[in-house]
Chains A and B, each alone.
Chain A
């Protein structure tokens, strides 16, 4: 039965790949981790916009996902200049009946060096490992997974680093953490001819770019939408999959973040540092993110800010389609996932309902990514008796949604630079947002004196504060003057700083310079 399951997954992968364009060479290879073209969201929109906008370059996509069954079909129509797409899964399990093997003792010296360097502030991939052959000849994936040498290596690392913790946790952590390296090396080995590598995050995608860049001497541009390491920390804090067992002999509470989580966080931090060190340019979307990058260890001289931009020609007409008075609709555009904190939005609507009984809250975005979380949200709506007020609309064309909305909102606990806020502004919608990422820069203005003088395009509130969100929903929906002045501020701000052609031109120049 297991065999059959595996075969059908293979079929699915092949079906998915069947339609994908392939090419032997590309100008720019974008390496995505769990986003474009299978998952919608900020990063995916950004990639789609970039490729569609820069028609003079031939683009390629390397998609790195967890397992095939986590992704449904393609979510985007491909622009004609997207000439190559390949899809890889890091954690596809196959049923193996592995055999004993010896492994090359000498090769493990390099791996040891690498793991030791992960503990330092200046992590490096040893020279030999920078060459892809290392993963094919010196230590193959099978050697790493099944060899006796690998066992001795694990034992030694454990005794050195973590001898008083549950061995099984340490073992699987180290194994799972490093296992993808071999898959990534394989990806790099078969990569089409590429002139520029562009990764929209650090993590495994960034590491792939790093590996390809260092082994093929290809320039590498890194754009960080959020701060990967920080997002992983949030994942970790809410992760249930990292089962943590307290040592049998030490049944006492350890620190908040258990040792397994600490190992993961450290690993991603160090991968980020390695990507930073290798990247030709380190791009962030807003000033605050740039400062975090520098604080995390990015070279100041390599960092640039290139904000997102939106298509005014398309979106501005939507503002005129809006029927007045202000629709009593607060719209949240985002996937139904925990990082978007949809529950706080539901609570805020429940509070606002006490003042504006006909208020509506729309949640526009895919609901299949965290089904458990989505279900909890639906239950919450029921328990607040909000079935008439809150609608989960799934993915929608925002051109249909924005004209019917009165306010845009974001309740996320982490964001980079949310494109939806800019799209909302362009379509004449003020925004009430939590204070994350560049939201306050967008809403209050920050780039220069002019930007600030445009005024507030909405309001920023602390995260998870349903009361303050509700207060502002009511305030803006009930005060037409305030609403109109916010609308005007937003429009001016987008028009001056955040237009699509500006964004595209910046990347065009950057690509040309690197080429």
Chain B
């Protein structure tokens, strides 16, 4: 008889995005975190060595800072796409591909890094000892590996174990440096070995959790597997985070030579690195919000969509997500503002205790506001990652990079009273825009979920 059997397949394919995004969401947030943990480590180490030998302390600080910033920028490009790729594989129940992909990404990144960093190191440190150069390259390599290991480690949900590993190893590094750190080389060697152990620990966690018969796979780099927008989001973001420092280091008015051709900025560096420390409580708080509340609302929303909720219910859960974000951002502001006020009041005491000139306090205060804004911006970005808004995050990161570079440069021209404002104002602008984009995303989330996926 006439008539098509019109067997319509179930049109909304099991929305893979919904489930992968969760693990990805955490990881995206966590991976914006390495620079914070690295800066904490740098600061602590330099405090301890400061009293011993001021020059050595600066040398160490800058060696680490350069190794960290260059490795973060290098991995910045592949870190988010790699995170997403791993999340996809885990969702596809292809856990066996995790370990080989991890090794593949490691090998590729380190090879690329060596090509870039070896000539650069010999150029920058031309008047340093060969041992120093090799150690510097070693730190760069081991940090690159650790950033990649973090990606997968954060998917393991062994937060406690990973935290303990970090804590133990870094405490030991600090202790050993304090006891035996007589020269720059020894300090770097201690730091390098410690991080190497950390890397091995993280890798063994990964290998234990994702066993595989295959050793190495470069599938991740295949063109069609690559999430370009995520790559550029990561690259621009990590460049943006460092660009104000680079400008201060190399501007003739504010930068000085520290070590070979490495520059630093006596006025700028200490306050901003310290300001980063102030946002640690907020980071923890937001991470908890994301994990405990937002992901729940997000699941409710997609369940209602997939399992046949009424439109009313779907909208209710969407509003639930919005509420969680609103609360989280508000909470961040309140908590950070309280912390900032306390620190503001006690700045003279803290500086005195740490033996830092009071001159820095004005810059420190504006940096503190900037760091707070960076935290909320980062939080909004990670929500956008969660909602798979790759293009938006890329443009926001690029805007952050451009603004931070331009306004920082402007602040140097305007004079010392404006130092730090470039960083803070650029973040204020991108944060407001990111909030607007997030609002728009939520407004259209149902339309996009139903019509555009």
Contact = CB atoms under 8 A, between A and B. Distances in A.
B83 to A, nearest CB: 22
A163 B12 CA distance: 20
B1 A148 contact: no
A32 B3 CA distance: 8
A225 B1 CA distance: 8
**Of A163, A166, A203, which is in contact with the most chain B CB atoms at under 10 Å from its CB?**
A166
Interface in B4-38: 4-12
Nearest to B303: A248
A502 interface: no
B309 interface: yes
A32 B1 CA distance: 11
B311 A145 contact: no
A421 interface: no
B11 A201 contact: no
Interface stretch (B156-164, B174-182, B408-416, B443-451): B443-451
A172 B3 contact: no
A176 B12 CA distance: 12
Given A34-B5, A231-B1, A231-B3, A245 B452 contact: no
A86 B81 CA distance: 46
A228 B1 CA distance: 9
B311 A146 contact: no
Nearest to B2: A201
A228 B6 CA distance: 14
A167 B8 contact: no
A205 interface: yes
B252 interface: no
B116 interface: no
A395 to B, nearest CB: 17
Interface residues of B, number: 30
A182 B298 CA distance: 35
Interface in B270-326: 304-314
A32 B451 contact: no
Interface stretch (A54-62, A151-159, A299-307, A480-488): A151-159
A43 B306 contact: no
B309 A66 contact: no
Contacts of B11: 172, 175-176
Nearest to B453: A98
A172 B12 contact: yes
B377 to A, nearest CB: 25
A41 B3 CA distance: 12
**Of A167, A232, A248, which is in contact with the most chain B CB atoms at under 10 Å from its CB?**
A167
Contacts of A93: 9
Contact of A167 (B5, B310, B447, B452): B310
A200 B2 contact: yes
Given A98-B452, A146-B452, A159 B4 contact: no
Interface string A237-259: 00001010111110000000000
Contacts of A99: 452
A143 to B, nearest CB: 11
B308 A245 contact: yes
A425 B12 CA distance: 51
A223 to B, nearest CB: 10
Contacts of A70: 5
A64 interface: yes
B387 to A, nearest CB: 15
A91 interface: yes
A394 interface: no
Contacts of B1: 41-43, 225-226, 231, 339, 414, 416
B6 A66 contact: yes
A33 interface: yes
Interface in A20-67: 32-35, 41-43, 64-66
A383 B302 CA distance: 46
B4 A90 contact: yes
Nearest to A42: B1
A235 interface: yes
A167 B4 contact: no
Contacts of A158: 311
B3 A247 contact: no
Contacts of A32: 2
B6 A90 contact: yes
A164 interface: yes
Given A93-B9, A166-B308, A225-B1, 14 more contacts: A32-B2, A43-B2, A158-B311, A163-B311, A165-B310, A167-B309, A168-B12, A205-B2, A226-B1, A231-B3, A245-B307, A247-B309, A248-B308, A249-B313
Interface of A: 32-35, 41-43, 64-66, 70, 90-91, 93, 98-100, 145-148, 150-151, 154-155, 158-159, 163-169, 171-172, 175-176, 200-201, 203-205, 225-226, 228, 231-232, 235, 241, 243, 245-249, 339, 414, 416
18 contacts: A33-B3, A33-B4, A34-B4, A43-B1, A64-B4, A98-B451, A151-B446, A163-B310, A167-B309, A168-B306, A172-B12, A200-B2, A203-B3, A225-B2, A241-B10, A248-B308, A248-B309, A414-B1
